[in-house]
């Protein structure tokens, strides 16, 4: 994966998140038409988080930046360090724009409070053992961008980073599948074909009898038709991303993800990050890049990352 692709992924996630924020919680039928889905919605639209300025990323972007910073500083996935950064985000706004945390998932909050109260990062995500929200999938992209190991090592780390807040095996497998899909996108494989390759590779890694293989085949059901109403269930989120990434440009991918409704910021962040890897940062509309808030902080982290990339 080259530098252009890595930056495309990172900024693709942050911008997808920021474009999607105003539309969150609205079902598809309440959204403006596709061409009006911009960082600044039509004046008549009752936007979510009305006090949040346009161009602001939410919990998706902040947690992704916590993960990237931890990887850059530690040189490996170090769960305690990562968990401490997530707590710093939750408690005092680390990597939140303006230091203001305005969107926190119920399971994420419960898990981080468990960690702060003494649970290990390997166990804190069991605060809601049946929880299958998309809160660990939304932030995992920097792991795939940063990782230089084998597919097997990437899959293991994708599972591990999920444990902190979303320990259910469905969440772990979804994160692993997405990371392998990112590698296919970086290799220039078309989106749906790359998804199929990622599924095949993950099955090979899991083998035929593992619990992870069962979870992949029976819970995620990767060959099922991609149908979604934009909800926050992690399997539905993967299907939202499959739908959105069939579009022919970064802008259209993000708008398609938002048009599904409901969890608009997360779906646009995950789809936008993946497609940003495909197009590189040059494929992201300049008007959105220019409006993204607190880019200078991201650029400082990017410079540290670049210094350790090669």
Round to whole Å and give the CA distance between 267 and 42: 21
Give the residue from 57, 16, 74 showing the smallest Cα distance to 298. 57
Q: What are phi and psi of 210, to 5 degrees?
A: -75, 160
Enumerate residues 6+ apart whose C-beta is below 8 A from 144: 9, 154, 158, 178, 179, 182, 183
- Exposure class string for 140-160: b at 16+ Cβ within 10 A, else e: bbbbbbbbeeebeebbebbbb
**The two three-digit tokens of residue 111, written as one number:** 């898990």
Reported as a pLDDT band with limits 50, 70 and 90, residue 310 is low
Integer Cα distance of 213 and 191 in angstroms: 22
Domains of the chain: 3-25+123-309 (1.10.4080.10)
Chain segment 180-194, per-residue pLDDT in tens: 999 999 999 999 999
pLDDT of residue 308: 78
Determine the average pLDDT of the residues in 226-253: 98
Average pLDDT, whole number, for the chain?
A: 97
More confident site: 54 or 306: 54
Kindly report, residue by residue over 100-157, the tens digit of the pLDDT: 999 899 999 999 999 999 999 999 999 888 899 999 999 999 999 999 999 999 999 9
What are 51-86's pLDDT values in tens digits?
A: 999 999 999 999 999 999 999 999 999 999 999 999
Region 295-309: mean pLDDT is 92
């Amino acid at each position: 994966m080259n530098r252009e692709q890595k930056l495309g992924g990172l900024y693709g996630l942050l911008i997808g998140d920021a474009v999607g924020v105003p539309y969150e919680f609205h079902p598809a039928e309440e959204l403006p038409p596709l061409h009006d889905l911009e960082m600044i919605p039509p004046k008549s639209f009752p936007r979510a988080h009305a006090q949040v300025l346009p161009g602001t990323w939410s919990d998706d972007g902040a947690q992704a930046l916590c993960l990237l910073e931890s990887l850059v500083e530690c040189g490996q996935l170090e769960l305690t360090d990562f968990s401490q950064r997530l707590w710093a985000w939750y408690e005092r706004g680390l990597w939140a724009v303006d230091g203001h945390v305005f969107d926190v998932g119920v399971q994420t909050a419960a898990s981080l409070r468990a960690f702060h109260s003494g649970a290990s990062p390997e166990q804190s995500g069991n605060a809601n053992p049946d929880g299958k929200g998309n809160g660990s999938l939304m932030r995992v992209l920097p792991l795939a961008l940063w990782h230089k190991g084998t597919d097997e090592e990437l899959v293991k780390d994708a599972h591990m980073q999920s444990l902190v807040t979303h320990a259910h095996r469905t969440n772990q497998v979804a994160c692993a599948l997405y990371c392998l899909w990112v590698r296919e996108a970086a290799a220039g494989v078309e989106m749906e074909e790359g998804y199929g390759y990622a599924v095949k590779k993950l099955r090979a890694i899991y083998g035929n009898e593992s619990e992870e293989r069962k979870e992949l085949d029976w819970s995620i059901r990767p060959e099922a038709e991609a149908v979604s109403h934009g909800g926050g269930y992690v399997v539905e989120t993967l299907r939202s991303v499959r739908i959105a990434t069939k579009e022919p440009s970064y802008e259209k991918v993000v708008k398609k993800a938002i048009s599904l409704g409901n969890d608009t910021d997360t779906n646009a962040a995950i789809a936008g990050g993946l497609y940003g890897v495909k197009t590189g940062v040059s494929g992201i509309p300049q008007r959105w890049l220019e409006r993204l808030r607190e880019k200078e902080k991201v650029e400082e982290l990017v410079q540290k990352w670049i210094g350790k990339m090669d």
